[in-house]
Chain A
């Protein structure tokens, strides 16, 4: 079944500082959207606001998943409705094992889950992501390397089978081999029942996950959208080209680029 995640004129701030200044974006099932933009443009804020992070205050606009108003839903309700966030900095949770945590997370979506099927699925998915099975009994992200943490996010995404996944700079800090594995995971999820918003700085992840749509974000707004060609243009000409192209005020650019 096809679903739609729709963001309309979304405005949000942290403390008193506005970060999102009217975001419009529609992601349908089956589509991969890439969101690019310089540091401080508000990409991670958008990811966190979509998931319902209490750090941010939404000051205007709507987010809907089909007919559901996401902004009225709690974090776990959004997750249960099919939203998934792969965190830029996954937090370490000593004392909670990966195996038990994922089992509970799945049980919130599937009633009467079969434990042996779950373990089989988990082991197969770990093999696919070239992860050691020992991770099942390790504490969530505790003592993991940067690459292992990112793989753990992708593992969770594949296990939880969300309708829409937001990947917040999952490629940052990854070597090329880890990057390929992350891409493999996303490409596996790709299909008619899955949509994604991939937030990244660089072209390289998008060489492995080819997006259907590309959006450039600047100063809390999406300033232009297009297809894959936009990634190449950006890579060749840099963000300065975007600034000139769209007459963005240099002073603002400076302010945000130092954040």
Chain B
């Protein structure tokens, strides 16, 4: 799609009209897009003067210059019959009652409360996505996998994934992000767990090294729901994410785990919020990262506890491994606690490979390079033990390959 000529007029608006025309008028998506676009026009792209963006400068990335209509791709979903799963393209063409009654209110709420330009951009311009609905009381034995596989040149992928887990349901969902060349990728994630739902959401981000990745995720947990969220970032030139886990129901439990490994000049800036809005809720963040070359990693973790969220139990851990002398890791934990009846704390460490461990491995015949490789992989193993075997093996392989590049 060639949009030259539009660039000189009001690009933002013309692009948007085009997208709207592609969407059937009756569709729910037209309203959502319009409202999101309204917010989008009022927000500006972040600069390092914004606190959240102090360590990640994207002023050189002309995001609106990447074309959201020039994106192609072949996406897949592996899902058992008992689960309702639909691509958003499909839903836009024929509205389903289930989607209307469950997902639309959630997205609408996101649009109304959004303050992040990536969030509203994604909701204005989403050009792919899936809606997964786990029925009440359903236990899904097999892992559900979504593979976003975008192709383009100077294009913009903007998928949105919506997951609704019914009461007492149990499920394990993996979302894999991939894009070629030099593109921009903006993911939106909306997850809602009903009472007692147990849901694992695994994100594997391994996009091309020249592309940019942005993600805004919102998860809401009802009473006694359990979320096990995992994200892995190994791809992209810059990756900047924010996952806001809202413990809205009492007794809910959120486990946020992540790994990131930056090599070359990669830049990762991951954020989590453990948002305690109800009493007796429990949350843990556990993020581990490694950086080599001139890579830089940032982890910003916030524990926010509302005044009425008594007996909150929240902890946040960040561990970083620096390889070489030119990589850098920043760990920025913070607490905003508005009542005294809580147990909240955080801990972070940053270090280099252990020399004694290296000597030990080498003394058994392993080269220095292989010993380092083994130790970097070993560093992530305790996080992998919480991820399905297939995903863990895939990540082990990616990490091994990345170390060989170092």
Contacts and interface: CB of A to CB of B under 8 A. Distances in A.
A191 interface: no
Contacts of B382: 94-95
A54 to B, nearest CB: 7
Interface stretch (B2-10, B179-187, B206-214, B367-375): B367-375
A128 interface: no
B360 A80 contact: no
Contact of A75 (B359, B374, B380): B359
A93 interface: yes
A75 B378 CA distance: 21
A160 B361 CA distance: 13
Interface in B74-95: none
For B363, B377, B378, B382, the residue with the greatest tally of chain A CB atoms inside 10 Å of its CB is B363
Interface in B348-383: 354-357, 359-368, 370-371, 374-375, 377-382
Contacts of A78: 363
Interface of A: 51-54, 74-76, 78-80, 84-85, 87, 90-91, 93-96, 101-102, 104-105, 108-109, 139-140, 156, 160
Nearest to B364: A105
Given A94-B382, A95-B380, A79 B364 contact: yes
Contacts of A102: 364
Contacts of B362: 52, 74-76, 79
Given A94-B382, A95-B378, A105 B359 contact: no
A168 B81 CA distance: 62
A91 B365 contact: no
Contacts of B356: 91
The size bracket of the interface on B is 20 to 34
Contact of A105 (B366, B377, B378): B366
B379 A95 contact: yes
Contacts of B365: 76, 79-80, 105, 108-109, 160
A160 B364 contact: yes
Q: Nearest 6 A-B pairs (CB), nearest first?
A: A95-B378, A95-B381, A108-B365, A75-B362, A79-B365, A105-B364
23 contacts: A51-B359, A54-B359, A74-B367, A75-B363, A76-B363, A76-B364, A76-B365, A76-B368, A76-B371, A80-B365, A87-B360, A87-B363, A91-B354, A91-B356, A91-B360, A93-B360, A95-B380, A95-B381, A102-B364, A105-B364, A108-B365, A140-B360, A160-B364
Nearest to A107: B365
A78 B366 CA distance: 10
A11 to B, nearest CB: 21
Given A108-B366, A156-B364, 17 more contacts: A51-B359, A51-B363, A54-B355, A74-B367, A75-B368, A76-B371, A79-B362, A79-B364, A79-B365, A85-B363, A91-B357, A93-B378, A96-B381, A101-B361, A105-B364, A109-B365, A160-B365
Contacts of A94: 378, 381-382
B368 A74 contact: yes
Contacts of A104: 366, 370, 374
Given A76-B368, A104-B370, A96 B378 contact: yes
Interface string B304-340: 0000000000000000000000000000000000000
B362 to A, nearest CB: 4
For B364, B374, B381, B382, the residue with the greatest tally of chain A CB atoms inside 10 Å of its CB is B364
Contacts of B370: 104
Contacts of A95: 375, 377-382
B401 to A, nearest CB: 17
Nearest to A76: B362
A80 B365 CA distance: 5
A90 B364 CA distance: 12
B380 A53 contact: no
A96 B374 contact: yes
A32 B362 CA distance: 25
A75 B372 CA distance: 14
Nearest to B370: A104
Contacts of B375: 93, 95-96
A18 B298 CA distance: 44
A93 B381 CA distance: 11
Nearest to A93: B357
B365 to A, nearest CB: 4
A104 to B, nearest CB: 6
Contact of A76 (B366, B374, B378): B366
A94 B379 CA distance: 8
A76 B366 CA distance: 6
A74 B367 CA distance: 9
A79 B365 CA distance: 5
A108 B364 CA distance: 9
A210 to B, nearest CB: 27
Contact of B363 (A79, A93, A96, A140): A79
B300 to A, nearest CB: 26
B247 to A, nearest CB: 30
Contacts of B368: 74-76
A107 to B, nearest CB: 9
A74 B366 CA distance: 10
Contacts of A52: 362-363
For A76, A79, A87, the residue with the greatest tally of chain B CB atoms inside 10 Å of its CB is A76
Given A54-B355, A104-B370, A108-B366, A93 B361 contact: yes
A196 to B, nearest CB: 16
A54 B359 CA distance: 8
Interface in B164-186: none
A101 B367 CA distance: 13
Contacts of B361: 93, 96, 101
Nearest to A105: B364
Nearest to A83: B363
Contacts of A140: 360
Contacts of A53: 359
A128 B156 CA distance: 62
Contacts of B381: 94-96
Contacts of B359: 51, 53-54, 75, 91
